[in-house]
Structure 1
């Protein structure tokens, strides 16, 4: 059993195709298939069920896949540690972020990091705060930027508050409230809202602010991303509540301060386990 065979198994599992896996690994399909077959013979079990229509993991394959990924990650980390010992930071860094992060200038941070450590393969993934915490805890992400309500404590990870601020009301320029210098929640309670999914951390700040005043509001449209939210607001389908620092970057929309608006806290989370050299360099750049 060798690492290359494990790479092939992981590629087949992720693409559900021997053809696509071979393309991803830059080898001919016959060579990849031969190596997977050799590994199956050594293990004494088939890892994949192959039909003319699909390829999927067997029970043995599902048991083998996590260990194969761990072995590949360990090998990658070993190479990175050796490079770091000789003064070179390399390897892989995967960072997650909510789309509306505002406490740090993330593109600027990434640009500085890539200039300092060009040998690191950097990946950025967007997602909800809840999902990002899970991915850091599971090891799929090295670090992540969250936006949560005050008092939210992510479990199973290390974390630090990096900023907070109040929401603003985001609306079309011709909305009746757009001419005001500020609004409050009671004034907005009768409006139609576009917001994130019920139960999400991104939604919780707004729901709790209205509930604290005994107010109910109508969220007519639930969306999974801020891009669609802003497009719907531009069409005057409703108003949105978004962090003021993020709202300052919006064009073609009116952002009105809310006197008693929701507060969002931004947090950086990272693994409880010792970071890779690439992750340690990223955290150091953020003064962690």
Structure 2
């Protein structure tokens, strides 16, 4: 049972609806619905009578509400106590990440962390996926944010899923695919030269297409979203990238298309080794990453437990 589920449950009960709770929590209504569905599945019972407007608690929902409210009040008090001690957490944290997460998720995480833990020195290392794994393994990185695919090839690395994002196609305005309707069938990529990330890693972009028996060649490899967009704008190939990679770059002069097809997604998680459990500073950063809002346009991967 996740704390987010209880917070969402209490908000829906107090506000009398999923939409009102979404506004209160600054979450999407779909996220609120997913949290309630996860909680009901975990408990094996229905918590709200959705046939009424506003929604009302069932009998079991009323019982849970009383306990959930007490739990959240206790957590609020505990957080207040921890804040008093936060200034005593010292040390250094090295956070590893890849380009698109570094541009769209990490800055706010670091801003909040540095305010909350002013005596912790923070370093950021941006690398390709294989470099992140090696850095985790040899201890030069304490914590890392990376795609779930390809899986780490070094032992002793644990992870927790964070978010999911769709894959996108990027083409120049005069490219033959630019006139197609969005979403584009993934089979339409057959016969084209693509611009992909993850050279030499079996990255998820290449894996996703290879499993669909699509006949394609690779024009260029680049782990920099701006480079992928620029190459596509110049007509040098078809960019096939994760949605988050297209938030920061200048996308003027290109056409961005959704891709139709089951499973055409990038899943992202936070990764660590057992060394994390000996460092209060790294544990604090891990908590900050896990509890920070996921980037806009992504969906939370609910219901998956961390690996140990």
- State the TM bucket, normalised to the shorter chain: 0.5 to 0.7
- SS in structure 2 at match of 1:124: strand
Residues 97, 287 of structure 1: alpha-carbon distance in 2 compared, 3 angstrom cutoff? closer
- Displacement of 1:166 in angstroms is 2.2
Runs (5+) with no aligned partner, structure 2: 1-83, 292-308
Structure-2 residue corresponding to 1:209: 208
- Displacement of 1:224 in angstroms is 4.5
Q: Does 1:109 align with 2:112?
A: no
Runs (5+) with no aligned partner, structure 1: 1-83
Structure-2 residue corresponding to 1:158: 158
What is the TM-score with the length of structure 2 in the denominator? 0.58
Q: Does 1:229 align with 2:228?
A: yes
Instruction: Point out the structure with max Rg over C-alpha.
Output: 1
- Displacement of 1:87 in angstroms is 5.0
Equivalent residue runs for 1:59-70 within 5 Å: none
1:279 to 277, 282, 287: 282
Once the two structures are overlaid, the 10-residue window that deviates more, 265-274 or 240-249, is: 240-249
How many residues are treated as equivalent by the alignment?
A: 202
- SS in structure 2 at match of 1:88: coil
Q: Is the 8 A contact 2:172 2:232 kept in 1?
A: yes
How far apart, CA to CA, are the structure 1 residues paired with 2:161 and 2:278?
Answer: 19
**CA deviation profile, 1:81-131 (whole Å, cap 9, x unmatched):** xxx989512221110101122897211111101111222221111111222
How far apart, CA to CA, are the structure 2 residues paired with 1:86 and 1:119?
Answer: 9
Structure-1 residue corresponding to 2:171: 171
Structure-1 residue corresponding to 2:197: 196
Structure-2 residue corresponding to 1:75: none
Equivalent residue runs for 1:1-288 within 5 Å: 88-101=88-101, 105-149=105-149, 152=151, 155-179=155-179, 180-201=181-202, 204-250=203-249, 251-252=251-252, 253-260=254-261, 262-273=264-275, 274-287=277-290
How far apart, CA to CA, are the structure 1 residues paired with 2:175 and 2:226?
Answer: 20
How far apart, CA to CA, are the structure 1 residues paired with 2:212 and 2:198?
Answer: 21
What is the TM-score with the length of structure 1 in the denominator? 0.62
How far apart, CA to CA, are the structure 1 residues paired with 2:272 and 2:103?
Answer: 16
Residues 86, 255 of structure 1: alpha-carbon distance in 2 compared, 3 angstrom cutoff? closer
